[in-house]
């Protein structure tokens, strides 16, 4: 037996590995299984030119054995194995792996062929998280049985190496568990770790079966072995080999959803960044959909090895409802959340996956199949409001997102796209008109819509809380500006004939004294009072100047506990309405002021606002009812 010293910095690096890099103890099994799988991949690659390396065991596999009495866990593979020199070199130097050196030897097109062979770095040393001593027994494929090697270390400053007889090629990593880690001797625990982290390793992972011993009144290990992983990553298989039922079963497994997914997409992306994506859109919204701090629903794998749940860096926040798997061929196995945020490869994956999800949505929304369009309608009902967040967050895809939006309108209660609206625009109409409100009923009854109904002009009815925020980022669609019917001076452009415009100007001139009196009476509540032709049945309505915050948005901010910029609205009056004519005939200043306040309050209530002094409004109405006004 020969003693060898680790690198001088070994203690510091081991401390980093066991306490910082791997904060989750059960990661050790993932790392060691990954290394075992890697060793098998190496053998498979070298055996392309030297098939004799398979010796008498061509079936590659990983086995996990537990010895409760000795308190050991053994991870065994029949892969390429190590010689004594390789054991000293690869296990005695931290942050250097045999895989890295192996990859450096590859030349030309061989690199592409070996892209499944990972670089695992310090993964082996994660075993010291749960073990106070590790023994490695190995023999390299092609060497004689008497050229096996045993490597032993307690993870301190040195390790021992000796030559042993080992008939079988491959490697055994034996973990001698430290005190307090007995949970990892339980079969169910090891199975659950394998199921979570290594279920889709392409090699079979085997454990001995257990059976009930009536005499011992306990489960005992048998000599029969069984595969405890699926041994084939679903996303690595050809799409033609996977049924819809298998796709849906996998979705339920990763999402814990009892309902099938609404849609899914499965693709292999090649180029500067290589990765596989299997992404799902749920059939229903989760209860925490509106929690923007919630982690994403995409699992990250590297070369079929599970890295982390909820890798939020792989999908924008507005697509947080997407579930699935992304398996990268380029990222390091020990990638952290911090590294994910900074990686250019991750940025490319995020952009590619975002476009893939949008394409999936577009195929449903634009399909000629009624069933697919119905699926998109179901999606929009549950997730549409969240998708709208992307208009302000994802400027690169804003145009695509705008085409996916759906609204209610004065022509239909749901499902109206901008494209639908544009097709139905009146001759001479240039703008897309909309109104915002708290509810669909409030939007439909908005007095600002009256002239639009009279002329048959469609108006979009926006009732989601996110709509006002969305409109601060979306200004036009295919050259048509978005215009609120409750903002700015009323101007239908070519849709309003010259006679209407002339009559409006004449009315404004005739009512100028009344408008001045009303402006004075409402000076603390309204910025201005003017006549309008946007009203047909109502006496008055409130509007704001272009660029000012709408009353609806101001109320939303107030409800959220935020302050809104203070700006007074404009009161527009219908010169043809009986109440306005009565106002014009009122000479008594007190009665005039009461009527002006009533008109303002009614306009405020009609747009969904709240009165600051409801009692004063009631008193004015009562005076009108008894005829004193």
pLDDT at 360 over 70: yes
Q: CA–CA distance from 365 to each of 362, 372, 406, 450 (Å)?
A: 5, 7, 10, 32
pLDDT at 494 over 90: no
Q: Flag whether 376 is in a domain.
A: no
Higher-pLDDT residue of 495 and 98 is: 495
User: Which pLDDT tens digit goes with each residue over 377-390?
Assistant: 999 999 999 999 99
CATH code for the domain in which residue 322 is found = 3.30.230.80
299 within 8 A of 311, measured Cβ to Cβ: yes
Token representation of residue 607: 């747009």
Q: Which of 492, 521, 547 is the last residue of a domain?
A: 492
Dist. CA 289–CA 169, nearest whole Å: 52
User: Which pLDDT tens digit goes with each residue over 139-185?
Assistant: 999 999 999 999 999 887 788 999 999 999 999 999 999 998 999 99
Quick one: pLDDT band at residue 509, thresholds 50, 70, 90?
Answer: confident
Domain carrying residue 395 = 390-492
pLDDT number for residue 91: 82
CATH code for the domain in which residue 58 is found = 3.30.565.10
User: Which pLDDT tens digit goes with each residue over 296-324?
Assistant: 688 888 887 777 777 778 899 899 899 99
Higher-pLDDT residue of 307 and 572 is: 572
Q: Do residues 451 and 505 both lie within one domain?
A: no
Q: Do residues 262 and 116 both lie within one domain?
A: no
Helices 512-521 and 589-606 sit at what angle, rounded to 10 degrees? 80
pLDDT number for residue 560: 64
pLDDT at 137 over 80: yes
Mean predicted confidence (pLDDT) in 348-373:
94
- Number of neighbours of residue 274 by Cβ within 10 angstroms: 17
Higher-pLDDT residue of 128 and 362 is: 362
Mean predicted confidence (pLDDT) in 433-438:
91
- Number of neighbours of residue 92 by Cβ within 10 angstroms: 18
pLDDT at 108 over 70: no
pLDDT at 98 over 60: no
Quick one: pLDDT band at residue 7, thresholds 50, 70, 90?
Answer: low
Q: Which of 429, 464, 492 is the last residue of a domain?
A: 492
Q: How many structural domains is the chain composed of?
A: 4
Q: Across 290-294, 302-306, 309-313, 521-525, which has the greatest mean pLDDT?
A: 521-525
pLDDT at 337 over 80: no
Q: Do residues 161 and 41 both lie within one domain?
A: yes
Mean pLDDT, rounded, of the chain = 84
Q: Do residues 590 and 455 both lie within one domain?
A: no
* Dihedral angle, C-alpha 240, 246, 247, 248, nearest 10 °: 150
Q: Which of 371, 405, 423 is the last residue of a domain?
A: 371
CATH code for the domain in which residue 404 is found = 3.40.50.11260
pLDDT number for residue 50: 92
pLDDT at 283 over 50: yes
pLDDT at 103 over 50: no
């Amino acid at each position: 037996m020969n003693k060898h010293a680790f690198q001088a910095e070994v203690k510091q690096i081991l401390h980093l590995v066991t306490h910082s890099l791997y904060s989750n103890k059960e990661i050790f099994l993932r790392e060691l299984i990954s290394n075992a799988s890697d060793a098998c991949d190496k053998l498979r690659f070298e055996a392309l030119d030297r098939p004799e390396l398979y010796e008498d065991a061509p079936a590659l596999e990983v086995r996990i054995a537990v010895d409760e009495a000795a308190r050991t866990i053994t991870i065994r593979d029949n892969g390429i194995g190590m010689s004594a020199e390789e054991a000293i070199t690869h296990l005695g130097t931290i942050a250097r792996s045999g895989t890295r050196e192996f990859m450096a030897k590859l030349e030309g097109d061989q690199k592409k062929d070996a892209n499944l062979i990972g670089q695992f770095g310090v993964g082996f040393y994660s075993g010291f998280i749960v073990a106070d001593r590790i023994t490695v027994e190995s023999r390299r494929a092609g060497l004689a049985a008497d050229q096996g090697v045993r490597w032993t270390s307690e993870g301190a400053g040195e390790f021992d190496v000796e030559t042993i007889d080992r008939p079988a090629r491959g490697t055994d990593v034996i973990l001698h568990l430290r005190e307090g880690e007995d949970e990892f001797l339980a079969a169910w625990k090891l199975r659950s770790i394998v199921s979570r982290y290594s279920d889709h390793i392409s090699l079979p992972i085997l454990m001995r079966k257990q059976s009930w011993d009536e005499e011992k009144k306990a489960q005992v290990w048998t000599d029969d072995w069984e595969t405890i992983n699926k041994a084939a990553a679903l996303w690595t298989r050809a799409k033609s080999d996977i049924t819809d039922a298998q796709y849906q079963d996998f979705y339920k497994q990763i999402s814990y959803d009892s309902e099938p997914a609404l849609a899914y997409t499965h693709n292999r992306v090649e180029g500067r960044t290589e990765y596989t994506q299997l992404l799902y859109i749920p059939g229903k919204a989760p209860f925490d959909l509106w929690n923007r701090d919630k982690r994403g629903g995409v699992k990250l794998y590297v070369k079929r090895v599970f890295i982390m749940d909820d890798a939020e860096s792989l999908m924008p926040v507005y697509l947080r409802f997407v579930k699935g798997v992304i398996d990268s061929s380029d990222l390091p196995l020990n990638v952290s959340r911090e590294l994910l945020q900074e990686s250019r490869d991750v940025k490319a994956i995020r952009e590619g996956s975002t476009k893939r999800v949008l394409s999936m949505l577009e195929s449903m929304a634009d399909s000629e199949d009624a069933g697919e369009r119905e699926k998109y309608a179901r999606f929009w009902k549950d997730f549409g409001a969240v998708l709208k967040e992307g208009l302000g967050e994802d400027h690169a895809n804003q145009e695509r997102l705008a085409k996916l939006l759906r609204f209610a309108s004065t022509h239909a209660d749901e499902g109206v796209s901008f494209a639908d609206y544009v097709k139905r625009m009146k001759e001479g109409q240039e703008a897309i008109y909309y109104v915002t409100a708290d509810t669909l009923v409030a939007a439909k009854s908005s007095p600002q819509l009256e002239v639009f109904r009279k002329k048959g002009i469609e108006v979009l009815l926006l009732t989601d809380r996110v709509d006002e925020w969305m409109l601060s980022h979306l200004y036009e669609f295919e050259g048509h500006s978005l215009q609120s019917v409750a903002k700015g001076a009323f101007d239908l452009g070519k849709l309003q004939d010259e006679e209407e415009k002339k009559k409006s100007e004449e009315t404004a001139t005739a009512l100028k004294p009344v408008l001045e009196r009303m402006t004075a009476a409402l000076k603390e509540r309204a910025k201005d009072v003017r006549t309008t032709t946007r009203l047909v049945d109502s006496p008055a309505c409130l509007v704001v100047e272009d660029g000012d915050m709408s009353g609806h948005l101001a109320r939303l901010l107030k409800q959220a506990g935020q302050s809104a910029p203070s700006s007074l609205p404009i009161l527009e009056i219908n010169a043809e309405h009986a109440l306005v004519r009565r106002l014009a005939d009122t000479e008594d200043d007190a009665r005039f002021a009461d009527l002006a306040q009533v008109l303002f309050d009614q306009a405020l209530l009609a747009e969904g606002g709240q009165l600051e002094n409801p009692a004063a409004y009631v008193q004015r109405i009562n005076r009108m009812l008894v005829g004193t006004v």
